[in-house]
Amino acid sequence: MSNDNRADLIAGLATAMGAPIKDAQLQNTRYDKTTGTFYCNGHIITANMIDKAIIYYENMFQRAQKNPDTKEMALVYELALEAIRLLKNDPNKVNGFIAQGK
């Protein structure tokens, strides 16, 4: 494990336990394309969690599409799903929102 990854892990665990955010890198919203990790508001969102979010929004989108009363929510789920996919698959297209790696 590299020192950067170790520092991120320790800082993430400390934040999860309620410690104040001291690492400036964790305060900024960014995506590390080398590890597939998304840093957002002091949270470390791993590649595994991003994959779970994709599955969740796919399922919610499919359910919402079936019911005429939830068509608008289907668009919300589709937007979230496509934003996550864009972030994961082509972070360079999300220009100005995320840092390009470390």
Return the H-helix or E-strand segment holding 40. Answer: strand 37-40
What Å distances lie between residue 34 and 17, 26, 46, 59, 77, CA to CA? 26, 16, 12, 28, 27
Between residues 19 and 64, which one has the greater pLDDT? 64
pTM: 0.65
Name beta bridge partners: 7: none
Q: How confident is the model at residue 102 (pLDDT cuts 50, 70, 90)?
A: very low
Give the three-class secondary structure for 52.
Answer: helix
pLDDT digits (tens, 9 = 90+) for 15-52: 566 665 555 455 567 788 888 888 887 788 899 999 99
Domain ranges of the chain: 3-93
